[in-house]
Chains A and B, each alone.
Chain A
Amino acid sequence: MKHTQKKNINSISNKANMPTVKVKYSIGLTLLLIFSLQLNAQKDRKLTFVGGARSILNNGRLIVNDSIPDTTTVKRNEGGYALIDLGVNIKPNKNTEIMGMFRIKNNFGGFWGSGVSFDVRQLWIKGIVGNVLRYQLGDLNLKQSKFTLYNHHADQIDSLPAIFNLQQNIVNYERFYMNNNTWRMQGANVDFGLTFSKFLKEINFTAFLTRLNATNFANVSDRLMNAYSVQLVKNNHLALTGHTNTIFDVNGTTNNKNLFNNSVNSIEWKYENKLKTDNAYSFAGEFGNSHYYYSADTLAPRLSDYFIHAFAQMKLKKMNLMATVGYLNVGADFRSIGAQSKDVNYNAQPVYFNRYTNTQVIRPTTLFDVISNENIYSRTINSNFMSGSQLFNNVLPYGLATFNRVGAYLKLNYKNKKELMANAEYYNLSEIRGQGTTALKQFAIYKVNVNVPFHKLFNLKRTLSIQAATNMQMANRKGNEAIEDVDLKMMQTTVGLRWEFSPNFELIGGMINQTNKGNDFSADRNAYTEVTYFQLNNYNLTQQITAVGLRYNFTPKIYLCALYQQSNYQDKKQNNANFKMNQFGLIYNIIL
């Protein structure tokens, strides 16, 4: 047996660290300037300055189509901000690294103190003890398994055209969604690995402790997350991982003796092998259970349930095809705050034209906000239950960790050497326990996503690619009484274009259309996540965003782009007044 060697801190796979410069794109229809500094980038220097900067100018217009003309709302919005993230990376020795990053932000119109804010954007220390144990203190980007701690991004569109990705990537940077599916947390993380010559190939151990919320010294106790994972790698084919994740109130941090606890335990497995034909197959999955309770509240339920997720995957190399068939079973009382926290907070108000109509009602959260509004996104997990939106994901609002779902899914992924890509997904799910009735809802998701790189298919010199996708969700219930019936459909279509019509000049464009039609019930839940009431929602809603832009690429990392975007919100049920938002902007983007 020997320790896994960690020769230098630079060799650490840095899952808890944010890259030095990650601003790859910026908001469409705004003027965006990004540049970054990386001084003394040589590996052996002890002091490195890292950072980035961004400037945004907004030019937007709101058009409200209400039964009573809206004479109250200010219809134009021009503004923006400039910010700089300046970080100092210190390596006092080869096994220690310290990072501190400050943000200076100035809203346009303010100067010398007015509108200027100073924040600490990130602060961490990491290193290696005895060439064996890696540790990190401070800011951490963490994930475990899909059922213990995972940012599912359940409501983000996973087939966004490139022009909308400009905006989505700003959200990702601002909310630290830098390493896929992680949550930004604060605490301490340690991990180490052991390798063996017999019986086992290696054992990897990871543990962390983070603080979710601080005590107010009166009635809100300190709430922590304590988790660890142990991975046993038998050989190149088989690996088993055990996860434990516990969120708990710390006794004694207040006089409140009613302490919350949510623990999730699971085992993940993966077996993969190759066939003689050069094809490969794998079986993988996870099963486990959860417990959710308050120690002294007699009104609070003690919820316990289990889940199973298993899938088989076949890679057919000659056909460039990968097929996956999976089974999902997540109990109605399965609760995992780490995996069931949502990135989109639908209770947050949009800051851009946040009120409208003569009565100044709050503008509903729309497709435009989900794509580009960083203010509705959460930085870290929420220690309370977060509700979802029936408009954006009614079937799996918490990703695979959505409770009360059982069923199967099928995925087909095709990608050839010329990067012609086609993906298809089908989910067929059902509730396990009825909601307000013994009748169960049935769910289905159909997804198709195609990317055609004509320039590679026909050996063109310049880029010409088209991307198209559709996502259809359905929820149905045939109730015992007609009032219990549910029939809700969501259809989302995206189309994107990227055409280099002259050397380094690109035309980029995209369109997203989403319709929600039908009825469904949404559950009101109390603080213990119990259903207390149902609201009947009727939808006949169409949302559309169209964007077109011209981009000049100075280098692969420097470009200038002009964009125009229109978004349209039409609610035929008149639950909310119809409106349009038009925006124009310029993007200047540099990554050093």
Chain B
Amino acid sequence: MKYKIHLFALITLALFACRKDKSKVDGPSITEIFSDFKVAETFKCSKDSVNFNKGETAFFTARFNKIVKWTITIQGNTSKAVKIINGESKVIDASNSSWNGSTTVFPMFAKEFCLAKLTIKDVTDSFTTNVRISNTKKLEGVIVADFETGLNAKWTRFAQSGANMDFQIKTDAFAPQGKSYLNMAGTVNWDYLIGLIDFPANAYSAAPTLPLPTNPESVYFNCLIYGVNNTNTSLVLFQFKEDENGDGIINANNEDEYDYQITVDWVGWKLISIRYADIVTLVNGNPAAAKGNALHNPDKIGKISMLHLANPNNGFASSKLDLMMFTLNKPLEP
């Protein structure tokens, strides 16, 4: 009898457990994926002209018969700046193609006409549309240096007297933002240091520290660095020196210094962004204990030093720098 009861229980359990979930399907439709590609709605931009400075955005629209991997490449006719937007969908709309004037490949966009080109993976045809930038994107944050107005009188500049030295602001087509940038180059075969600039807080306000919030988690340091082809590797070192007691004097023995060293091992302009809370103290390139209160206090940064370094045994090194600035809550989106 027990045997029958258990058998009955088993069969009942199995019947209860029978299920087919036809109301849902996992993943995209196979029929769509493997059918021939067709455009159901042509590629367009939502605006003929857009003023990014006022916070406006533009987006693109298109519709296909299936989910595809697509790329929109927007290029400025004059600046040659490029913005790339990628996606994988059946529909291109504001949710996946919104553009706020930011740049993927530098220089940054200018007031200019742009050509937007839509390419689709495994489809030979491409589709284009035009959009005009009536005003460029506003840079929101605390700008330390964009070199547009030359050297600030309160900055301190030092350059070694090596061969082929250049530690000057240049104004030419290389500039990724505005018209000017800092060019750093030279051969210094007796020292790592090629040149440096100190950016004291009093260059920006009467206070002894930079006007930044207290929370190091919300403060990002950003800059644009250009790696020069066929030169030896540059090191760009940023030193954030905190004036913890606010006396206007940086004391290296009992106040924090946080350091961010960048090995410039790429070619072209690159955006560097780091959260202030993630920057550590370095001694000879190695992490070390901070000498002050050991707390990241962005609101107490009294001076930033930017050093251009290179291995003295390697010879000539060169790189370029532009748009040093702090942003809040997120990295710079230039």
Q: Footprint of B on A, CB under 8 Å?
A: 218, 255, 271, 273, 275, 281, 283, 285, 308, 310, 312, 327, 329, 331-332, 404, 406, 408, 430, 432-438, 440, 479-481, 483-484, 521, 523, 530-534, 536
Contact A433 B31 (CB under 8 A): no
Contacts of A312 in B (CB 8 A): 6-7, 10
Contact B17 A437 (CB under 8 A): no
Contact A523 B26 (CB under 8 A): yes
Contact A440 B27 (CB under 8 A): no
Ordered nearest first, which 3 A-B pairs have the shortest CB separation? A531-B27, A436-B30, A433-B21
Contact with A along B58-97 (1 / 0, CB 8 A): 0000000001000000000000000000001000000000
At the interface, is chain A mostly helix, strand, loop or mixed?
A: strand
Contacts of A283 in B (CB 8 A): 6, 9-10
Q: Which of A273, A327, A532 contacts B14 (CB 8 A)?
A: A327
Would you mind naming 30 contact pairs between A and B with Cβ atoms under 8 Å apart? A255-B217, A273-B2, A281-B3, A283-B6, A285-B13, A308-B14, A310-B14, A327-B10, A327-B13, A327-B17, A331-B19, A406-B17, A408-B14, A432-B20, A433-B26, A434-B22, A434-B25, A434-B26, A435-B27, A436-B25, A436-B28, A437-B25, A438-B22, A483-B30, A484-B31, A530-B26, A531-B26, A533-B67, A534-B27, A534-B30
Nearest chain B residue, comparing its CB with the CB of A484: B30
Q: Tell me the bound Cα distance from A211 to B153 in angstroms.
A: 56
Contacts of A479 in B (CB 8 A): 30
Q: Which of B190-225 contact A (CB under 8 A)?
A: 217
A432 and B19 contact, Cβ closer than 8 Å, known pairs A327-B10, A532-B28 = yes
Contacts of A484 in B (CB 8 A): 30-31
Given A436-B33, A534-B33, 18 further pairs, Cβ under 8 A: A271-B6, A273-B2, A327-B14, A329-B17, A332-B24, A406-B17, A432-B20, A435-B26, A435-B30, A436-B25, A479-B30, A483-B30, A483-B31, A483-B34, A484-B31, A523-B27, A533-B88, A534-B27
Q: Tell me the bound Cα distance from A438 to B20 in angstroms.
A: 10
Q: Tell me the bound Cα distance from A312 to B29 in angstroms.
A: 39
Contacts of B67 in A (CB 8 A): 533
B293 close to A (CB within 8 Å): no
Contacts of B2 in A (CB 8 A): 273
Q: Tell me the bound Cα distance from A404 to B26 in angstroms.
A: 10
B149 close to A (CB within 8 Å): no
Q: Tell me the bound Cα distance from A526 to B30 in angstroms.
A: 17
Contact B18 A329 (CB under 8 A): yes
B56 close to A (CB within 8 Å): no
* B87 CB → nearest A CB, Å: 12
Contacts of A285 in B (CB 8 A): 13
Q: Tell me the bound Cα distance from A275 to B19 in angstroms.
A: 34
B286 close to A (CB within 8 Å): no
B164 close to A (CB within 8 Å): no
Contact A437 B31 (CB under 8 A): yes
B278 close to A (CB within 8 Å): yes
* A402 CB → nearest B CB, Å: 14
Q: Tell me the bound Cα distance from A523 to B28 in angstroms.
A: 10
Contact A436 B29 (CB under 8 A): yes
B284 close to A (CB within 8 Å): no
Nearest chain A residue, comparing its CB with the CB of B25: A434
B124 close to A (CB within 8 Å): no
Q: Tell me the bound Cα distance from A327 to B22 in angstroms.
A: 21
Q: Tell me the bound Cα distance from A310 to B9 in angstroms.
A: 10
Q: Tell me the bound Cα distance from A311 to B13 in angstroms.
A: 11
Nearest chain A residue, comparing its CB with the CB of B13: A310
Contact A432 B21 (CB under 8 A): yes
Contacts of B17 in A (CB 8 A): 308, 327, 329, 406
Q: Tell me the bound Cα distance from A255 to B217 in angstroms.
A: 9
Nearest chain A residue, comparing its CB with the CB of B27: A531
* B23 CB → nearest A CB, Å: 9
B230 close to A (CB within 8 Å): no
Contact B19 A329 (CB under 8 A): yes
Q: Tell me the bound Cα distance from A533 to B13 in angstroms.
A: 35
Contact B27 A533 (CB under 8 A): yes
Q: Tell me the bound Cα distance from A430 to B67 in angstroms.
A: 27
Q: Tell me the bound Cα distance from A285 to B25 in angstroms.
A: 29
* A470 CB → nearest B CB, Å: 28
Contacts of B19 in A (CB 8 A): 329, 331, 406, 432
Contact with A along B29-72 (1 / 0, CB 8 A): 11101110000000000000000000000000000000100000
Q: Tell me the bound Cα distance from A143 to B25 in angstroms.
A: 33
Contacts of B14 in A (CB 8 A): 308, 310, 327, 329, 408
Q: Tell me the bound Cα distance from A530 to B3 in angstroms.
A: 43
Contact B29 A437 (CB under 8 A): yes
Contact B21 A332 (CB under 8 A): yes
Q: Tell me the bound Cα distance from A521 to B27 in angstroms.
A: 12
Q: Tell me the bound Cα distance from A406 to B18 in angstroms.
A: 8
Nearest chain A residue, comparing its CB with the CB of B30: A436
Q: Tell me the bound Cα distance from A437 to B24 in angstroms.
A: 9
Contacts of A331 in B (CB 8 A): 19, 21
* A333 CB → nearest B CB, Å: 9
Contact A308 B13 (CB under 8 A): yes
Contacts of B27 in A (CB 8 A): 435-436, 523, 530-534
Nearest chain B residue, comparing its CB with the CB of A332: B21
* B294 CB → nearest A CB, Å: 15
Q: Tell me the bound Cα distance from A432 to B20 in angstroms.
A: 5
Q: Which of B10, B25, B34 contacts A435 (CB 8 A)?
A: B25
Nearest chain B residue, comparing its CB with the CB of A433: B21
Contact A218 B278 (CB under 8 A): yes
Contacts of B20 in A (CB 8 A): 406, 430, 432, 440
Q: Tell me the bound Cα distance from A438 to B21 in angstroms.
A: 9
* A325 CB → nearest B CB, Å: 9
Contacts of B22 in A (CB 8 A): 433-434, 438
Q: Tell me the bound Cα distance from A255 to B276 in angstroms.
A: 14
Contacts of B3 in A (CB 8 A): 275, 281
Contact A533 B25 (CB under 8 A): no
Q: Tell me the bound Cα distance from A218 to B22 in angstroms.
A: 42
Q: Tell me the bound Cα distance from A481 to B19 in angstroms.
A: 24
Contacts of A435 in B (CB 8 A): 25-27, 30
Q: Tell me the bound Cα distance from A433 to B19 in angstroms.
A: 9
Contacts of A438 in B (CB 8 A): 22, 25
Q: Tell me the bound Cα distance from A523 to B25 in angstroms.
A: 13
